[in-house]
Amino acid sequence: MPLNAHRCSNGHLSIPGHPRCPECAEPQNGTTDLTDKTAEVVTWTTSTATPPGVRQPNHLAIVEFEVDGESVRTIGQLTTGDVEIGDEVRPVYAEELRDPNAGIRETASQEWDGYRFEPVE
């Protein structure tokens, strides 16, 4: 499963994708896979009051990728709380970001996989 940033014809990137670019309103018509790229931690926090099925404590970060001179930010879980602003991280695939049996929705109706961000050593 790729970690995709969506691109418009002017080269702007966004996560998640939109029918039209949030920056210039051109249609988004392509994607860029960020799976093998690294990002920088812009800010982070630790949540101790998490939704059902989400691990406690839950370390979260806003990270910024640089792709062909354009930057794109996304939010996601961290693999550890041992990070600093400015640290380099990489996406790491996780089959379950939360316990599928702990939510209020039917398990089969949800996708529980995605990416966490791990510090690059």
Distance in angstroms (rounded) separating the CA atoms of residues 102 and 94: 17
Percent of the chain with pLDDT over 70: 95
Strands, E assignment, the chain: 4-8, 13-14, 28-33, 39-47, 58-67, 70-78, 88-94, 114-119
DSSP character for 110? -
Q: What is the mean pLDDT of residues 26-34?
A: 95
User: Mean pLDDT of all residues in the chain?
Assistant: 92
Task: Please give the pLDDT value at position 29.
Answer: 93
This prediction has a pTM of 0.88
State pLDDT tens for residues 63-116: 999 998 999 999 999 999 999 999 999 999 998 888 877 767 676 766 778 999
Distance in angstroms (rounded) separating the CA atoms of residues 121 and 116: 16
